[in-house]
Structure formats: C-alpha cells, structure tokens
C-alpha cells in the first residue's frame, strides 16, 4: 500500500519547511501570515517523492 506523499512547503520568510496537504495560514516559526512555496519534488534527482527541489532552495 502506498500513500501519496504530501507536498513540502517552505516559508519564504524564514525558510521553515513542513509537509502537509496544504500550507498553513500562519507560519509556526514566524507566527504570522507568510507565503509558503511548494518545494516538494517528484523526480529522483532531488531525493524523489518527499524530497525537496534543490533549485527552489
């Protein structure tokens, strides 16, 4: 049984990363509304599913 990995989100303000189905409205690190970018990667080059895309770091 395989589950679809949840996307990885990164706070564009502090760089905090978390994996969730949807980005949080409030960044747990910044404790304010931050812009979360999807840095999840689905190709083997950057760790495969569940990894993060190095180009977005």
Tokens 């049984």, residue located: 1
Cβ–Cβ under 8 Å, residues 46 and 54: yes
Decide if residue 14 touches Zn ion (CB under 5 A): yes
The Cα–Cα gap between 11 and 36 comes to 5
Decide if residue 46 touches Zn ion (CB under 5 A): no
Q: How far is the CB of 53 from Zn ion (least distance, A)?
A: 19
- Please pick, from the candidates 7, 9, 10, 27, the single residue that binds Zn ion as defined by CB under 5 A: 27
- Give the residues lining the site for Zn ion (CB under 5 A): 11, 13-14, 16, 27, 29-30, 34
């Amino acid at each position: 049984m395989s589950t679809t990995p949840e996307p990885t989100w990164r706070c564009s303000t502090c760089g905090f990363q978390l994996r969730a189905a949807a980005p949080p409205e409030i960044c747990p690190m910044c404790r304010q509304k931050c812009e979360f970018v999807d840095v999840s990667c689905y190709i083997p080059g950057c760790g495969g599913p569940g990894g993060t895309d190095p180009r977005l770091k």
